[in-house]
Structure 1
Amino acid sequence: MSSPAGARRRAGERCVTLADRVDAAAAESIAVRSPPTDEVIAQVPDCSRDDVETIVDRARAAQTTWTEWPVEKRVAVLDRFCDSLLEHRRDLLDLIQLETGKPRHNAVEELLDAVGTCTYYVDTAPKLVESERRSGAFPAITDARVHYEPVGVVGVISPWNYPFNLSLTDAIPALAAGNAVVCKPDERTPFATLFAASLLEAAGAPPGLFAVATGRGETTGPALVDAVDHISFTGGTETGRAVAERAGQNLIDCSLELGGKNPFIVLDDANISAAVRGAVAGAFANAGQLCLAPERIYVHESVYEPFLAELCSATESLSIGFEFGYGPDVGSMIDGDHVDRVDGYVQEAIDDGASCHVGGRRRPDVGPHFYEPTILTGVDPDSRIACEETFGPVVSVTPVKDAATAIDMATNTTYGLNGSVWTTDLGRGRHVATSLDCGTVCINDPYLVGWAALDAPMGGVGDSGLGRRHGPEGLRRYLESRTIATSRIGPFVSPSIVPMGLYARALVGSARLQRRLTRLKRRLSPR
């Protein structure tokens, strides 16, 4: 590993070069700052509506070439791209750290997630885009086939907390399906995505196929939604509502992963030490700036005291700081406004009677945007910190008398993204998991086993979003289905020599026969 100063210098120099890749004539620019120091890294164009339209037009032209390639040729490009991610991993990790302030082990998670997503769709895309034979209207004399075609240009609006993998986890399946992609990263974190675009082009993708439009969300975001054929958004719930409304006005589809207020249920038979390790790893990953992170911990009253004591001890032992290496456990938050928001929620909860056992303080001695991992108890269930997504290194811990109470409290929310259940009885855990109104529930893990199950769909319900990423569903959302039905005997109309009444009775008889055959098939099919 090179020196921290050398890594910072090289990453900063690369950012200046990457900013020149944005194909825009923007009159203004945005200063991107590194959260651990609040120093300016580089300037990126603040794209106007005209800039976005130009970028999308160029992507649409590149998509014409890309979609004509056989899927095997497309995934070969993605396969080479995946290799290049690993080859350039040190540069990517430096960029991710520089623009987010997260610890290096959290940056590695971003890289590995992108590599895993790429590997999965390189393997599965050829099958997922194949035409399918379906049952025709009348057996033997008709058939139906479903063909899948790319929607065109996909817009990806990605957030600042995991900017690299949350750009690529949506872009890779879209590209594998034959689409072009225009990504609008958060204006605070554009550089790792720009680097990915350069690596994809070097791997053989047509120039402009995966483009990046930098700019402020209030201008660049709506312009992108208006110009593309599908929009994939990851971010806050209120912004997601606006994206969905605009997509609906344009009659394009959208997929949205939004906020969460994720429950973490510790049953009376749980392995306490394992549950504590999971709570610390989940709640304080990326300084709690993770949509899947647990924010509400419900613990059976019989194990509440030992769980809380061990959780406080483990949290107090976490190190806080930043370096280009595998050092501190908890890194910087994204900016001062976000620190103000999180601290405001914590102080408000304390004023309302909550107890702060660990943390609850800013750490300006470490850097401008650092905040201590925080554990609260006695939180008012109607307070903001109990009901709204905190998105910081803060958890509340609440005792419950039984699993039913934990389920009731866990589901008392409009969110439904992720949940976790801790128990040594896996059957019991699965039973509790099915009672939680979440898109994903993990047993004996905070979120990773669900997120990393790339063959399974992932997404939220309620205020946590629409649509699914990962699995076949994560690629099929970027395809239009077209049915081609064939009759082997000509048009299904009454022959001129057959009375209409007789023809109608024949059709009814055919329907009855088809129902009998369907029932027989059901009885004979193994269950």
Structure 2
Amino acid sequence: MGRTYAAPMAPDLIADPETDPTATYAVDPALVRRLARRVVAAPRAEHHVSHTPMTGAPLASLPLSTREDVAVAVDAARAAQRAWSRTPMEVRERIMLRFHDLVLDRQVELLDVVQLESGKTRGQAFEEVADVALVARHYGRSAAAYLRPWRRAGLFPVLTQTTEHHHPRGVVGIVSPWNYPLSLAITDAIPAIMAGNAVVLRPDLQASLTALRVVQLLTEAGLPESVLQVVLGDGANVGQAVVDLADYVCFTGSTATGRSVAVSVAGRLAGYSLELGGKNAMYVADDADLDKAVAGAVRACFSSAGQLCISVERLIVHDSIADEFTTRFVEAVGAMTLGPALEFGTDMGSLVSQAQLDRVTAHVDDARAKGARVLTGGRARPDLGPFFHEPTVLTGVTAAMDVRDDETFGPVVSIYRVHSDDEAIRLANDTDYGLNASVWTRDVARGRRIGTAIAVGTVNVNEGYAAAWGSVAAPMGGMKQSGVGRRHGAEGILKYTESQNVTAQYLLPIAPSLGLSEEGYARVMTAALRTLKAVGRR
């Protein structure tokens, strides 16, 4: 179908046949060639042609790496890391804060390419720009504090002096997905780089242009090119090579693939962090502000067409307000605007691929066939683009239906009624996943109590996902089958380091001395240990 791109657009980004009859790809090939130079690949490498989900038009042709290319990238990164680890923290900070400014200054171009690769709306693409700026600023200003040597209590006051150090691991391998092509390509790399590591990044092929552009901005900010290497290719070969060769692995994706990553790195005792799937719940309590809850639910369920690991797929509503909430929510969902446009104002964009559309369609069809009711939506919209699907609300969902427990990762949400907070907590916890939850109530203390009882890594009170996600000084990650480790905050940077305890002992050894026998030493130590407890020594 024809393209429906609209202003604002970045200069020299879009190649449009309406103005250039020779244009073949949706992105200017000259720009693609510049970005392709960052890919570690052979001079005559096989190329991959990506397509924009917004219209199905060819997007860009980029070279593919091989397992051998990954080895070259890791070796180059390891060589660069030795010099980078000696770079003063003040220099790293200046680079990261310049990068912060470049991301905001070049946001029009970044928004365009994020939309073209992911199909999401411009407003939802801006979430990624804001996220990258937040993370760059946070670690640009906090990394030194997180990483500085810490004095710790020694065995004996004064006599034993202990310092905790944090050293970079070496080469961090990052395997990032397609759904947040800007954020997830670079925000995990930022703390790794600030900690003195080099990075080998393998973005999903559907997210390659965005990843290459933001890596180029980081280089423009002053990062040595060799510190951040990019390889492109499929997960089974190129992604697996990154997992096999890096000193630490950061993976974001499905739970099934995450388990495979964990098995791969376990054999060589490498460290890893995984952010995986979710079946996230939003609870609307009986005292919730329904105006805010309805608007919040629309954002929480359908941002990025539901292709967000922390988006809501289960709406749990207190029975006393369920009828009113459902009526208003269904009306709001039915009024959402859909479409492919590179401008603000559209409520929901496209799914990213035929595979995602097939999964969404299968979940809806299975639920409908087994007795669920579709309150609104429920069908694909090929008139808008090849992978569009209407935002869909289901009720009457049972355990016999795939949509009840499996992650849909699309614009489908199911409504469940409960009669109490305790019942809501039990239902929210009735899943193998534990990534994100949302609680809506006028009583924030009540919301916090409910939130702490839900077994998830992040809880938002009176927000769907953005408040906890955007609070980058605090950890974010999953419990249960939703992952291992955390991003953001202290944990988000210290995971990329090896901790080291350096302790100096003064005057007396930790052994019999000054003529004491072993028995006498034991008596003295016993008395000392009792004294230390009595005076409150930790």
Q: TM-score, normalised by structure 2?
A: 0.94
Q: Distance in 2 between matches of 1:411 and 1:77?
A: 43
The AA in structure 1 aligned to 2:28 is G
For 1:44, the equivalent position in structure 2 comes to 62
Contact 1:4 1:324 in 2 (8 A): no
Listed as ranges, the matches of 1:241-280 within 5 Å are 241-280=259-298
Q: Which residue does 2:221 correspond to in 1?
A: 203
Q: Deviations over 1:25-79 (max 9, x none)?
A: 1742222111112222122222211100101111111111111111111111111
**What is the deviation of 1:7?**
5.1
Deviates more, 1:363-372 or 1:14-23: 14-23
User: What is the deviation of 1:497?
Assistant: 3.2
Q: Show the counterpart of 2:318.
A: 300
Identity %: 41
| C-alpha contact (below 8 Å) 1:8/1:98 kept by paired residues | no
Give 3-state SS (helix, strand or coil) of 1:284's partner.
helix
| Amino acid across the alignment from 1:253 | G
Please say if 1:12 is aligned against 2:14.
no
Deviations 1:101-147 (A, max 9, x none): 11111111101100000001111011111101111111111111111
Moved more, 484-493 or 175-184: 484-493
Aligned to 1:94: 112
Q: Which residue of 1 aligns with 2:23?
A: none
Q: Secondary structure at the match of 2:193?
A: helix
Is the contact made by 1:154 and 1:231 (CA closer than 8 Å) also made in structure 2?
Answer: yes
Q: 1:110 aligns with which of 128, 141, 145?
A: 128
- Deviation track 1:491-511 (CA, whole Å, cap 9, x = no partner) reads 322238332211221121211
Task: State yes or no: 1:168 paired with 2:186.
Answer: yes
Question: Would you say the 8 A contact 1:164–1:192 is kept in 2?
Answer: yes
Q: Deviations over 1:420-453 (max 9, x none)?
A: 1111111211111111111111111111111011
- In the alignment, does 2:363 pair up with 1:345? yes
Structure-2 separation of matches of 1:202 and 1:488: 49
1:213 aligns with 2:219: no
1:405 & 1:44 partners in 2: Cα distance? 51
- Range 440-449 or range 14-23, more displaced: 14-23
Post-superposition shift, 1:399?
A: 1.5
What's the counterpart of residue 4 of structure 2?
Answer: none
Aligned counterpart for 1:322 among listed residues 323, 340, 343: 340
User: Separation in 2 of the partners of 1:6 and 1:479?
Assistant: 40
Moved more, 472-481 or 489-498: 489-498
SS at match of 1:357: strand
Deviations 1:449-478 (A, max 9, x none): 110111111110000001111111111111
| Residues 221-280 of structure 1, C-alpha deviations (whole Å, 9 max, x = no match) | 110011111111111000001111111112111111100000111111111111110110
CA contact 1:24–1:55 (8 Å) conserved in 2: no
Which range is displaced more, 9-18 or 283-292? 9-18
Pick one of 129, 146, 149 that aligns with 1:131. 149
Q: CA deviation at 1:85?
A: 1.1
What stretches of structure 2 of length at least 5 have no aligned partner? 1-6, 16-25
Structure 2: distance between partners of 1:449 and 1:31: 37
Identify if the C-alpha distance between structure 1 residues 186 and 351 changes in structure 2 by more than 3 Å, giving closer, same or farther. Answer: same
Alpha carbons 2:311, 2:465 under 8 Å: kept? yes
Counterpart of 1:491 in structure 2 is 509
Q: Does 1:437 align with 2:437?
A: no
Over the aligned positions, Cα root-mean-square deviation in angstroms equals 1.6
- Residue 24 in 1 paired to residue 36 in 2? no
User: CA offsets, 1:188-222, max 9 Å, x none?
Assistant: 11111111111111221112111211100110111
Distance 1:382 1:515, change over 3 A: farther
Give the match for residue 525 of structure 1: none
Letter in 2 for 1:110: E
SS of the residue corresponding to residue 14 of structure 2 reads: helix
Counterparts in 2 of 1:434 and 1:481: CA distance versus 1, 3 Å = same
Contact 2:40 2:70 in 1 (8 A): no
DSSP-derived class of the 1:350 partner: helix
Of 479-488 and 40-49, the range deviating more from structure 2: 40-49
Distance 1:37 1:16, change over 3 A: farther
**Is the contact between residue 281 and residue 312 of structure 2 (CA under 8 Å) also seen in structure 1?**
yes
Counterpart selection for 2:382 from 343, 353, 364: 364
Which runs of 5 or more structure 1 residues have no equivalent in the other structure? 523-527
| C-alpha spacing 1:501/1:4, structure 2 compared with 1 (3 Å) | closer
- Correspondences of 1:69-80 after superposition (within 5 Å): 69-80=87-98
Distance in 1 separating the partners of 2:295 and 2:85: 46
Kept in 2, the 8 Å contact 1:154–1:179? The answer is yes
Q: For 1:8, give the aligned amino acid.
A: I
CA drift at 1:4: 9.3
Residue of structure 2 aligned with 1:413, choices 424, 428, 431: 431
CA contact (8 A) 1:63 1:178 kept: yes
Distance 1:494 1:6 in 2: 76
Aligned CA distance change for structure 1 residues 496 and 283 (closer, same or farther; 3 Å): same
> The residue matched to 2:187 in structure 1 has which SS?
helix
Structure 1 residue 490, shift from structure 2 partner: 5.1
- Counterparts of residues 387-426 of structure 1 (less than 5 Å): 387-426=405-444
Change (3 A) 1:466 1:108: same
Aligned AA (1:20): R
Q: Output the CA distance in 1 between the equivalents of 2:131 and 2:10.
A: 25
TM (norm. structure 1) is: 0.96
CA distance in 2, matches of 1:6, 1:45: 21
